[in-house]
Structure 1
């Protein structure tokens, strides 16, 4: 099905008319039990009726075009329900990761200027506190509550709602400072769904027949744009689980009837640790869609479980405007290959000298959409940061910051990240953000953060800490644990250091800036030394459920 609508809400309405009795959502028993919601399937017609009721309630409360609403609802059906209802009125949604803590929430609320937050009741107090700290008036309601009256009139109420209307504000990891708010128009989501619906090859979707299971969070573009919109535009069933549960994963896959899986690279690594069994291929999965699988595990996984893992590349900023996927043979498994660009995507690789990278030479990946609209399918820009938007699009190309190599056959191979970013279990973590939080601990005089290898998560966070009073080996463990415990109140758990290394000084430039190259070398030598404390066991998801 090819939607003719200009909005996400309109596209869903079209599908509800075409496939009213098809299942749109499947809530697995395990996820239902964890979320304390009802398990089972929800049809397109039923969900559309719920959307219409909620839309009317928001409209009566005065919400409209130009307002923004925060959504802290994890992977519950309520996330999609509120998103679609608000989208119908031109209200942009700002997904909020439930793992964010005080400083992060304060920044997000102040920067996005959300009018209302729809959130789990267990997070209401922290949202109220963050709003006060940001000096913002914020209405906060639960997922099943009627919306409070809007505090201000919709600023764009007289403007038409169309494909260019802001649909969502998605925050990046902030690799060079504070997280940036990516303005995402309706066109972005629709283009992602249309791309997935027609890409074909090993990733071909069958109209009205697919059941797509994703453990990825709806606050990220993969689940929110690709998974949701692919199912909406093809009349398929979305199966959003609360998160990845290795021990029960295959039971969920089989019981849900999943035909497509979305994955992060860490997932296959964990699944391969289980003992092989005859039930490994007892499922209906046709392919997996994701990125970052360990190259040595790619071929063994496919052989053992009987379906291809299709590696893809995209960014929050690029959406499907420049997505690339290895959906056709040869896929060059085990080489970091993520396919080659489609005819409607233009690619340049630029070497360190600024010239075109040759075949086999590493270069920064630059992308744009082919034709008269080079930003088709991309984000509309960074909120309140025109300079950063202009810089990202300098010379008419979007600069990704990723280092890529083109092989002799023309396929693209991922090499590494150019920016100073730590990638842990699929989450991009900005070193400067973590440093900004850690330096506020009373015992910390100076701090620098780097990545160290982790066999399961890819990268782990290591903090080099200079203390006001240097600890002895005897009290280093207690101090490290105190720093990490405090950090867990300020940052999402995955950003908190898995190692705290107490050092005498940081590697600095003549102008007192951190020498990132030297820091990375130093970090690799520290784990296992007396003053480097392993705090990985403390990095657990912080549950705030009522």
Structure 2
């Protein structure tokens, strides 16, 4: 098979009555409020109808079509119809506002954007601001009113190297980069997940994946959806993660596999016990970022393993701590295997000793070359692509350490290392410690300037309902850290905030907590704890 469409059609022919797409019921939701289940056969009929509509309008190999369709099942009708023609899709984050969408539409050079009705006016404003014409089409109008996109950019039949999607990665600085992902990337990512085995064993035709992550993210749209197609399984698409609806959704949709991010376990553990939280059908959770202090608690309370994995939009393949005994009291995420190589290097790209922290670099070790199965490159940014691949290894930006037995342990993002008085402090370690406190709902730790020590640790804390923010709680959290961490890692500054900005995948956007140029230490309510930050003798 040469495309995702081919894989889908093969499964639709072999198992037309198997359920492919599920939307849980959600009263008041703008689409499918009572929920819906669509079989492979039903989706095939809709895909082929849309394929003919797009083809009749002139869409073909190499055109890009932007989609703002939220997490609706209808996303897949358009995606697969376009994939059949060799068109790439540009999924739009529905939380994006004017400037973000304008950048994405200008950079991607999308030929048309297909949207839910409620965002048409916003996108029409974007179209007026874009130098090149941008037709805006309602996905809810029948028949679909598509303008001609112009000449087909690529000759020949679509194949494995045809662009399937253009996914934008959230950058910590500057604009997001557009990752060009091919049909081979998708098929390879789905097959890699399918074949992992161990605690991640997937049975053809018997699974239902519950994935609350957005369809503009590789986890759901590339890895999970393609795996579902390759195994004749179902994909459950809630509109977003909701701790209050999580267990009800899983029960009513009969999910057997759930996907999570680090924000999910603490929010579920903070929910009061409920009868539906023990779901015997659920075999495992697949995700990343559960705090080690919460991992065992979660598994004991809810009765299924959370399997920690590692991957990036650029890599497609993943590592996983999926063989027993899993190391759930650590940040282990698996060992290199199957040709997916890893090294840990210093700032000069020299390999470091086992047990030493450094940047994770990865590649494919087979005869096809190191980039086989990875993203095709950053759109219009060959310099960034070359820099990421320097020395023939993809530089992930993640700080890790590797044990003597090959196990990899996550430390932090390279840019989340705080340098205080010669000490390197991983923000993630401090966040994990604070997150384990009963008064903390959410936390982000970042570096702030310090006139003496170069940088200092600052914690921005969202308190739990019922907790009283103020000096007393700040000092209590400081002492909590001192009991568990070296003194220099405890926050020298602490600020209570009502909420933290997050991406569509619920990752905290630290760069948006404070406006550019603002000194966080000067924010009203910032509590200075530096005087308490003194080396103490360990308890006897």
Q: TM-score range by the shorter chain?
A: 0.7 to 0.9
Superposition deviation, residue 230 in structure 1: 1.1
Which of 386, 392, 400 is 2:388 aligned to?
392
The reply on whether 1:336 has 2:331 as its aligned counterpart is yes
**Residue pairs, 1:29-428, within 5 angstroms:** 29-30=25-26, 33-36=29-32, 39-145=35-141, 146-156=144-154, 158-277=155-274, 279-320=276-317, 323-352=318-347, 354-373=349-368, 374-419=370-415
8 Å CA contact 1:368–1:397 kept in 2: the answer is yes
Over aligned residues, Cα RMSD in angstroms? 3.1
Does the residue aligned with 1:319 lie in a helix, a strand or coil?
A: coil
Any unmatched runs of 5+ in structure 1?
432-449, 458-479, 507-521, 532-546
- Distance in 2 of aligned mates of 1:34 and 1:524: 43
**Are residues 356 and 377 of structure 1, via their aligned partners in 2, closer, same or farther at CA, if it must alter by over 3 Å?**
same
8 Å CA contact 1:164–1:187 kept in 2: the answer is yes
**Are residues 359 and 496 of structure 1, via their aligned partners in 2, closer, same or farther at CA, if it must alter by over 3 Å?**
closer
8 Å CA contact 2:22–2:234 kept in 1: the answer is yes
Q: Deviations over 1:455-500 (max 9, x none)?
A: 699xxxxxxxxxxxxxxxxxxxxxx99xx9xx99xxx997598855
- Distance in 2 of aligned mates of 1:238 and 1:451: 40
- Distance in 1 of aligned mates of 2:55 and 2:158: 14
Say which structure, 1 or 2, has more relative contact order (CA 8 Å, 6+ apart).
1
Does the residue aligned with 1:170 lie in a helix, a strand or coil?
A: strand
- Distance in 2 of aligned mates of 1:141 and 1:317: 30
Does the residue aligned with 2:272 lie in a helix, a strand or coil?
A: coil
The reply on whether 1:23 has 2:36 as its aligned counterpart is no
- Distance in 1 of aligned mates of 2:463 and 2:233: 32
Q: Deviations over 1:273-331 (max 9, x none)?
A: 123355432341000000011111001101111111011111111112xx101111122
- Distance in 1 of aligned mates of 2:215 and 2:458: 26
8 Å CA contact 1:295–1:336 kept in 2: the answer is yes
Does the residue aligned with 2:332 lie in a helix, a strand or coil?
A: coil
Does the residue aligned with 2:26 lie in a helix, a strand or coil?
A: helix
**Are residues 370 and 354 of structure 1, via their aligned partners in 2, closer, same or farther at CA, if it must alter by over 3 Å?**
closer
8 Å CA contact 2:243–2:271 kept in 1: the answer is no
Superposition deviation, residue 144 in structure 1: 3.0
**Are residues 138 and 279 of structure 1, via their aligned partners in 2, closer, same or farther at CA, if it must alter by over 3 Å?**
closer
Does the residue aligned with 1:208 lie in a helix, a strand or coil?
A: coil
8 Å CA contact 1:116–1:138 kept in 2: the answer is yes
Any unmatched runs of 5+ in structure 2?
418-426, 436-443, 447-456, 465-496, 529-540
**Are residues 363 and 527 of structure 1, via their aligned partners in 2, closer, same or farther at CA, if it must alter by over 3 Å?**
farther
Does the residue aligned with 2:333 lie in a helix, a strand or coil?
A: coil
Q: Deviations over 1:253-273 (max 9, x none)?
A: 111110000011101100101
Q: Which 10-residue stretch deviates more, 124-133 or 379-388?
A: 124-133
- Distance in 2 of aligned mates of 1:166 and 1:178: 21
Superposition deviation, residue 175 in structure 1: 2.9
- Distance in 2 of aligned mates of 1:18 and 1:187: 22
Does the residue aligned with 1:341 lie in a helix, a strand or coil?
A: coil
**Are residues 202 and 211 of structure 1, via their aligned partners in 2, closer, same or farther at CA, if it must alter by over 3 Å?**
same
- Distance in 1 of aligned mates of 2:335 and 2:172: 26
- Distance in 2 of aligned mates of 1:108 and 1:453: 30
- Distance in 2 of aligned mates of 1:190 and 1:32: 36
TM-score in terms of structure 1 length: 0.78
Q: Deviations over 1:370-404 (max 9, x none)?
A: 21222122100011111111111111110111101
- Distance in 1 of aligned mates of 2:358 and 2:509: 28
8 Å CA contact 1:266–1:456 kept in 2: the answer is no
Superposition deviation, residue 78 in structure 1: 1.2
Equivalent pairs counted in the alignment come to 456
**Are residues 319 and 500 of structure 1, via their aligned partners in 2, closer, same or farther at CA, if it must alter by over 3 Å?**
closer
Q: Deviations over 1:143-176 (max 9, x none)?
A: 23314122412121x3221000001000111234
Does the residue aligned with 1:226 lie in a helix, a strand or coil?
A: helix
- Distance in 2 of aligned mates of 1:163 and 1:451: 47
- Distance in 1 of aligned mates of 2:344 and 2:524: 36
Q: Deviations over 1:479-529 (max 9, x none)?
A: x99xx9xx99xxx99759885589xx86xxxxxxxxxxxxxxx74785733
- Distance in 1 of aligned mates of 2:28 and 2:210: 15
- Distance in 2 of aligned mates of 1:288 and 1:407: 25
